[in-house]
Amino acid sequence: MNDIFLKPYNPKETEDKIYKTWEDGGFFNPDKNTNPEAKPFTIIMPPTNANGSLHAGHGLVMTIEDIMVRYKRMQGFKTLWLPGLDHAGFETQVVYEKKLEKEGRTRFDIEPKKLYEEIMDFTLINSSNIKSQIRKIGASCDWSREKFTLDDGIVKIVYKTFKKMFDDGLVYRGNRIVSWCPKHQTSFSDLEIEDEERVDKLYYLKYGPFIISTSRPETKFGDKYVVMHPADKRYSKYTNGQKIDLEWINGPITATVIKDEAIDMEFGTGVMTITPWHDLVDFGIAERHGLEKEQIIDEKGKLLPIAGEFAGQHISKARALIIEKLQTKGLVEKIDENYKHVVRTCYKCRTIIEPQIKNQWFVKMKPLAEKALEKINSNEIRYIPEHYKKITVHWLENIMDWNISRQIVWGIPIPAKICTVCGDGIVDLDNKEIKCKKCGGELRQDTDTFDTWFSSGQWPYASLGFPDSKDFKTFYPTDVMETAGDLVFFWVSRMIMLGLYNTGKIPFKTVYFHGMVLDAKGQKMSKSKGNVIDPMILTEKFGTDAFRIGMVIGNTPGTSLALAEDKIKAYKHFANKIWNIARFVLSNTEQYKGEKPELILGSDKIILDEFQSLIVGVTKDMDNFKFYLAAEKLYGYVWHTFADKIIEESKVKLQDSNASVVTSTQYMLRYILENSLKLLHPFMPFITEEIWSHMPHKETKLLIVTSWPK
């Protein structure tokens, strides 16, 4: 018997060694599979944010994807799992800004080029850390094809897409309302905004003959349009366009009556004034009626000269003073103290978003969404779990144009020139535009960067080398996209739209959403709560195999998962059990020569028939993406049938005086061990590979490329 089995299983001694054997042998590379008949199977790894360490969610991603990939590889597919790292634009910049803050610095004091270089260094350091952690989880991805979202080749593809969309009229530069965070000094797309319910005061103000209500009196300086519903009988004596002179915050003004159906007659008095520069609804009304728009608040949240005596004050301080002044002028009708409403905030810092009109780049989404809807509604893309399909359809049907300009340095620079006179933009990949085509004005380089999702939305084809590479032709469309449910709009839907736009094909056939990983009590993990579970500590403590199968069992797609240390510990016991099963079987079958004997009817025959149905059941679960079921079946079988019953009973049979009974039993034990190792391998790759290396009479030297049982 092999010496190794004299000791209990030790993950620390085996895992790194085995991973190295796989990697050095090139087994992760699909080119290793030289069978010309082999069909491709592809998963593109969601590029990991290179701004920290692997968290528990990553652990789940790596585990589930590795399970799929190992399963398909064993089934003989030409299997590619392409790893990648994400510069993660704004996300990383925020992480880096926190670091700067600790050092007493701020990004606004650092020259952009220098800041970019600093963040690049930071990212590269994190990258190597992240990559070694991905290896630790056992991910059998093809490192020779690794990509980074800022690689030249990727950026080139993103630029070509941008140019193509500009030429097709799908990208435009527009003076439109954007969601502006006064703290981070950048605009966002609608998805980066978080709604928050707050209780504020609602002020009822006298505006000439009307009473208007507002929760933001500090925006009211420029309000010279008073709007009501055309069907509102209370105000039928006022006509559209009618001028009314009235006394306002800083003196007399002339207001204009506007009739618009956007007004809710039920709300307040049914009359409001509008601030088109700082409100999306108001902007819409102003656009419809061709009204003037005026900026009241600057990018840092301070009032502009239009506010008269209040100019230069921050809006947070000015509000009370303005109300005070209005009160002395007798213009405050009443104040509702408990006004419950929803405010839009920055998803990172919770600062209230200040809508601003800005000249930025937008993507026209309707035409892209329509194509995506066609494919989704005809079920060309399978959603797991299914209800994500409904959510996606609803979002796509109500999609708004996408602001892709970000005022941060960390990202892919937008390859465009901006007119210094009229603000118009032109895409310029070759740096040859000199004058504005609209007005002839001087051009300057656009200093903004792309929303990181604009580039990662192109990841499936960009990472494969679209359009001419062999890899793109072989592996696209990919088979499965596996990612977190909260990326359904941010990333998944955009990949579908951009993939269809650029390649004419869906980027993946199946999209699998895993749930969020929570702590043992079901609480969201967060640094501030101090309940973050580091997957590296769990693998260190219990072994990677225990961590992997513990993450999978009891985890259905889309449902969040409570990660308890005890659970992982339980599967460490399972690993030990497997080890001891192998130890028993191998030491009791040493004389067995590998031949297939006549089976003992009613005993070994029945046992093997039952095992056959386990193979069928597990394979079916794997094909249906029910990894939790497959793993649970294997766990139950290996422990409570194979170990507790079959092996216990075999102890008697192995002592039988009839040699054919002994041989039959030995054959059966070896057969079940060998094939159990195969079935378990996607879930617990290290221990199964280690035991495999001690198996006599096996079909391949390494388990990773042996065939899945039929």
Angle at which helices 112-136 and 11-24 cross, to 10°: 110
Question: Rule CB under 7 A: is residue 4 a binding residue for RNA?
Answer: no
In angstroms, give the least distance from the CB of 262 to RNA.
Answer: 6
What's the CA gap between 442 and 251, in Å, rounded?
Answer: 40
From residue 398 to residue 437, what is the string marking binding to RNA with x (rule CB under 7 A)?
A: x-x-------------------------------------
**Of 522 and 696, CB closest to RNA:** 522
Pick the binder of RNA from 13, 168, 648, 699 (CB under 7 A).
648
Q: Is the preceding peptide bond at 467 cis, omega within 30 degrees of 0?
A: yes
Pick the binder of RNA from 489, 541, 702, 705 (CB under 7 A).
489
**Of 138 and 217, CB closest to RNA:** 217
**Of 413 and 617, CB closest to RNA:** 617
Residues contacting residue 415 through CB under 8 Å, at least 6 positions apart: 159, 162, 163, 427, 428, 429, 446
Note the Cα 698 to chain centre separation in Å: 41
Question: Rule CB under 7 A: is residue 131 a binding residue for RNA?
Answer: no
CA angle 149, 457, 352 (to 5 degrees): 95
Question: Rule CB under 7 A: is residue 632 a binding residue for RNA?
Answer: yes
Instruction: Tell me if 622 sits within 8 A of 630, measured CB to CB.
Output: yes
Query: Please, which residues bridge with residue 676 across strands?
Result: none
Residue 84: CB atoms within 10 Å: 22
**Of 96 and 207, CB closest to RNA:** 207
In angstroms, give the least distance from the CB of 182 to RNA.
Answer: 18
Residue 574: CB atoms within 10 Å: 21
Among positions 342-361, residues that touch RNA (CB under 7 A) are 342
**Which is nearest to 13 in space by CA: 710, 696, 687?**
687
Structure tokens at 296: 């009241």
Query: Please, which residues bridge with residue 257 across strands?
Result: 226
What's the CA gap between 337 and 315, in Å, rounded?
Answer: 19
**Of 548 and 567, CB closest to RNA:** 567
Q: Is the preceding peptide bond at 385 cis, omega within 30 degrees of 0?
A: yes
Pick the binder of RNA from 80, 88, 157, 272 (CB under 7 A).
272
Query: Please, which residues bridge with residue 234 across strands?
Result: none
Q: Which stretch binds RNA (CB under 7 A): 128-136, 187-195, 301-309, 447-455?
A: 187-195
Question: Rule CB under 7 A: is residue 222 a binding residue for RNA?
Answer: no
Residue 617: CB atoms within 10 Å: 15
**Which is nearest to 480 in space by CA: 513, 515, 517?**
513
Question: Rule CB under 7 A: is residue 257 a binding residue for RNA?
Answer: no
Question: Computed from CA positions of residues 194, 195, 200, 205, in that sequence, does the dihedral angle turn out positive or negative?
Answer: positive
Strands 78-82 and 84-86, bridge-based pairing: unpaired
Q: Which stretch binds RNA (CB under 7 A): 209-217, 299-307, 458-466, 469-477?
A: 209-217
**Of 80 and 368, CB closest to RNA:** 368
Question: Rule CB under 7 A: is residue 654 a binding residue for RNA?
Answer: no
Question: Rule CB under 7 A: is residue 267 a binding residue for RNA?
Answer: yes
Residue 334: CB atoms within 10 Å: 11
Question: Rule CB under 7 A: is residue 480 a binding residue for RNA?
Answer: no
Question: Rule CB under 7 A: is residue 629 a binding residue for RNA?
Answer: yes
Question: Rule CB under 7 A: is residue 17 a binding residue for RNA?
Answer: no
**Of 352 and 421, CB closest to RNA:** 352
Q: Which stretch binds RNA (CB under 7 A): 152-160, 368-376, 527-535, 621-629?
A: 621-629
Amino acid at 412: I
Residue 185: CB atoms within 10 Å: 13
In angstroms, give the least distance from the CB of 323 to RNA.
Answer: 14
What's the CA gap between 16 and 278, in Å, rounded?
Answer: 57
Size of the site for RNA (CB under 7 A): 70
Question: Rule CB under 7 A: is residue 639 a binding residue for RNA?
Answer: yes
Question: Rule CB under 7 A: is residue 284 a binding residue for RNA?
Answer: yes
What's the CA gap between 356 and 361, in Å, rounded?
Answer: 14
In angstroms, give the least distance from the CB of 462 to RNA.
Answer: 25
Question: Rule CB under 7 A: is residue 494 a binding residue for RNA?
Answer: no
The DSSP letter of residue 448 is -
Pick the binder of RNA from 79, 214, 539, 676 (CB under 7 A).
214
Pick the binder of RNA from 70, 87, 136, 216 (CB under 7 A).
216
From residue 517 to residue 546, what is the string marking binding to RNA with x (rule CB under 7 A)?
A: -----x------------------------
**Of 469 and 560, CB closest to RNA:** 560
Separation of first and last alpha carbons in the chain: 30
Question: Rule CB under 7 A: is residue 198 a binding residue for RNA?
Answer: no
What is the full DSSP assignment across 557-624?
TTS-EE--HHHHHHHHHHHHHHHHHHHHHHHTSTT--S---PPPTTTHHHHHHHHHHHHHHHHHHHHT
**Of 110 and 253, CB closest to RNA:** 253
From residue 370 to residue 399, what is the string marking binding to RNA with x (rule CB under 7 A)?
A: -----------------x--xx--xx--x-
Question: Rule CB under 7 A: is residue 50 a binding residue for RNA?
Answer: no
- Interacting residues toward RNA by CB under 7 A: 8, 190-191, 195, 212-216, 262-272, 279-281, 284, 341-342, 387, 390-391, 394-395, 398, 400, 486, 489, 522, 554, 556, 559-562, 566-567, 570, 572-573, 575-577, 580-581, 583-584, 587, 621, 626, 628-629, 632, 635-636, 639-640, 643-645, 647-648, 651
